[in-house]
Amino acid sequence: MQEIILSQQSDGLRPDAKEQALVLPLSEVGIADISFVGGKNASLGEMIQQLQPKGVKVPTGFATTAYAYRSFITKAGLEVKLRKLFADLDVEDVNNLRRCGKKARLLMLETPFPLELQEAIARAYQALCQQYGADTDVAVRSSATAEDLPDASFAGQQETYLNVHGLQGLLESCHKCFASLFTDRAISYRQIKGFDHFNIALSVGVQKMVRSDLACSGVMFSIDTETGFKNAALITAAYGLGETIVQGAVNPDEYLVFKPTLKQGYRPILKKSLGTKEIKMVYDLGGMKLTKNVSVKPSERTLYALNDEEILQLAQWACVIEDHYSQVRGIDTPMDIEWAKDGLTNELFIVQARPETVQSQKEKNVLVNYQLKEKSEVLLTGRSVGAMIGQGKARVIYDVPQIHQFQPGDVLVTNRTDPDWEPIMKRASAIVTNSGGRTCHAAIIAREMGIPAIVGCGNATDILQTGQEITVSCAEGETGTVYRGLLPFEIQQLPLENLPRTHTKIMMNVGNPEEAFGLTAIPNDGVGLARLEFIIANHIKAHPLALLHFDELEDELAKYKIAELTAQYEDKATFFVDKLAQGIGTIAAAFYPKPVIVRLSDFKSNEYANLLGGKQFEPNEENPMIGWRGASRYYDPRYREGFALECQAMKRVRDEMGLTNMILMIPFCRTPEEGQRVLAEMAKNGLVQAENGLQIYVMCELPSNVLLADEFSQVFDGFSIGSNDLTQLTLGLDRDSALVAHLFDERNEAVKRMISKAIATVKQHGRKIGICGQAPSDYPEFARFLVEQGIDSISLNPDSLLKTLLEIATAEANK
């Protein structure tokens, strides 16, 4: 029969014949054809027709239709049998669900395909073979008519088969796809989402394989998956076929790209995070299976799967795809996209695209904030998913046959999940997995179900014990933490509607780039203080001079640790520049185009000495609080080349990433002459005041800054009051000393007079002045005092911003 079928010609169907076509080329369908070929195939056809002319590469292929599926069901009398079977369905009973699902699939598989459907598939496959060669390899994917909707992803509900060769293998895979409409997970998911099992049809997409088994593949979102920040594209990548990432079998690389300046022609890669990528899925050449998993060579695991050009290319495609679907639908439509790189041609391809279904559906006018009230022993950490907190008894389950042991409210602890786990995932208070990244199955479903998850922990199933009470916190940034015990926490819901607008700019203090995207949901006018210290201490960890003079390091342990940190860098100093630029770039991008004031490094010598390799380059000072810090370091021959690295990083943020909303600020500048020397040093390193709109501010934190504010105004573009240091130096006390801590009070009349004088003098000279110190965050009456003095901006800690905003609005109304 196969030879006879292959000799027949293509259907050559007209558009008006789509409703009764058994097979359609992907090039002849579009997004309006979901009812014919399902969401996945309609989207592929849409991209082939509309986006390939814009440079987006999509592998071609064909799809069986909903009409073909319904003909199969109707002619074989399957609907009556299936309805009878589902009459007793209870998706809450795992055993009942299994029995119904198994019987439904057997009914489908034991019913042969109609001859006309076999022939139509054969003709379409023959056309593909004429283009790519005999027995060409294809991916066979299910595409249901209800999937990939904006409010329901149906992620992984039906089956996918990769590296399928020959007509017989193709027909078998198509048949299995039809049957997979009744997998346990698909039945359960439809029931939960309120879809009628018999109103949904299944289309099978057959697409030329991209040989990513010889290269890499991954998933990307045109939105940040955790915070809903819409201006970043998140890309994950691992070696081999993409199923390992979707399944959560590997911890992939992650890359973040800022979309607005990417569209302007810049190269704004905000983050590159190396995954372990321990296994990859490849073709099982000569074996019994279609694919198999193999280990990745250790030397390859330490390399990024994508280079910068490929990261930027994928991000550009994400923008093109998102813009197109947003235009088609008439609303912003963030996208969830699968991509693959062909190892034979080194070309990138898009193999799937669907609307993102979680962040795009969230309520935008209410800020929900989870906050731990206490902490306890940290049991393990991983990648956080969903900024929430969950708790309960751990339930360690290794594979699907054990899921009946799961109790509602348990914390699911496992190696990884796939769609077969979904019947119990919806009942979990939280999920913890050994492997997986932010785009794996566990992460996608946890977000959709509103459950916190920590993925990629490595050894969760070894450390956590069934019955152990734990708290899973994903509310502390990108790193999720599992704590011992059931810890108290609160959920704050803050309505954002009808908040007053103030004349005084309300800005934010931000130090941790991992929190930046999430903080943008709080109403603000930008960042009044972005600190480098957190990035240097937590992400770089090494002293800049230790990186510049790595070969001369005397501390062997520090040298070993630095070598580990910088394993991907031949030039260790480049590591410093990359990490600092990415960290500050992320903060500047989060608040773009609002101003972000970045204070250059203000470590004291004792703090610098605590960095890896730092002791070799730092003096011992009796009182480092008023010693070699801030401006005095920048032009000093003993630190000048370290400061040059900071300048390189800041120049990259502005010039390469296009984030010109960044304003630089000099701390602890004792005299106007010192300010001039620092500006000259910055100019030598490519940061020229006023060039490309660069503004440079100074911290107003020394009495000399206040008394000579008129002269400092001739040097700098603006001022930011550092109330902590100004209080210390006005009252003559060391704020690090517990002996005099009780005297430290920014509300002291002497300090207030200093601040009042600074504001008045600076404004007389036409410069801007704000405050970034702690006082207005702690004391509402101090915020009112600042408003009365006519300050331009107040920068607050995020947790006190909304409360202080209301105080400021009241103070302005009473002025």
- What's the rounded mean pLDDT across residues 401-430? 88
Average pLDDT over residues 482-493: 93
741 three-state secondary structure: helix
- Check if the beta carbon of residue 507 is closer than 8 Å to that of residue 795: yes
Over residues 349-372, mean pLDDT: 82
* Active site annotation includes 647: no
Per-residue pLDDT band for 363 (boundaries 50, 70, 90) equals low
pLDDT of residue 361: 66
DSSP assignment of 783-814, as one string? HHHHHHHT-SEEEE-GGGHHHHHHHHHHHHHT
183 pLDDT higher than 90: no
pLDDT of 513 over the 90 cut:
yes
**Higher-confidence position of 578 and 157:** 578
Query: Alpha-carbon dihedral of residues 680, 684, 689, 693, nearest 10 degrees?
Result: -170
Share of the chain above pLDDT 90, in %: 69
Q: What is the pLDDT, as a whole number, of residue 153?
A: 43
Residue 141: count of CB within 10 angstroms of its CB: 25
Mean pLDDT computed over 379-390: 91
pLDDT tens for each residue of 416-466: 887 678 778 888 999 999 998 887 888 888 887 889 999 999 999 999 999
Cα separation, 664 vs 650, whole angstroms: 8
Quick one: pLDDT at residue 360?
Answer: 65
Lookup: tokens for 308: 């910068």
Q: pLDDT averaged over the chain?
A: 90
Mean local confidence (pLDDT), 167-183: 92
pLDDT above 70 covers what percent of the chain?
Answer: 95
Q: Under a CB-based contact definition with an 8 Å cutoff, are residues 319 and 56 in contact?
A: no
* pLDDT the model gives residue 632: 97
Structure tokens at 512: 């941790």
Q: Give mean pLDDT, residues 387-399.
A: 93
Query: pLDDT at position 136, please?
Result: 95
CA 621 to chain centre: 42
Asked which of 41-50, 152-161, 173-182, 731-740 is least confident by mean pLDDT, the reply is 152-161
Q: What's the average model confidence in pLDDT over 73-94?
A: 84
**178, two tokens:** 């039809």
Cis peptide before 593 (omega within 30 of 0): yes
Per-residue pLDDT tens over the stretch 557-580: 999 999 999 998 999 999 999 999
pTM: 0.86
The token pair at 439 is: 């785009």
| pLDDT over 70 at 103, yes or no | yes
Taking only the tens place, the pLDDT of each residue in 284-312 is 987 678 899 999 999 999 999 999 999 99
- What confidence score (pLDDT) does residue 601 get? 96
Per-residue pLDDT tens for 714-725?
A: 999 999 999 989
Active-site residue, 441 included: yes
What CA–CA distance (Å, rounded) separates 606 from 389? 37
Per-residue pLDDT tens for 577-602? 999 999 999 999 999 999 999 999 99
- What is the amino acid identity at position 117? L
What's the confidence (pLDDT) of residue 270? 97
Query: What average pLDDT does this structure show over 63-72?
Result: 93
* DSSP per position, 392-455: EEEEE--SGGGGGG--TTPEEEES---GGGHHHHTT-SEEEESS--TTSHHHHHHHHHT--EEE
- The C-alpha angle 8, 12, 15, rounded to 5 degrees, equals 150
- For 262, the 3-state DSSP assignment is helix
* Percentages of the chain per state (helix, strand, coil), in multiples of 5: 45, 20, 35
Predicted pLDDT of residue 722: 94
Task: Out of 319, 441, 647, 700, pick the active-site residue.
Answer: 441
Please check whether residue 314 is in contact with residue 242, taking contact to mean a CB–CB distance below 8 angstroms.
Answer: no
Q: What is the pLDDT of residue 450?
A: 84
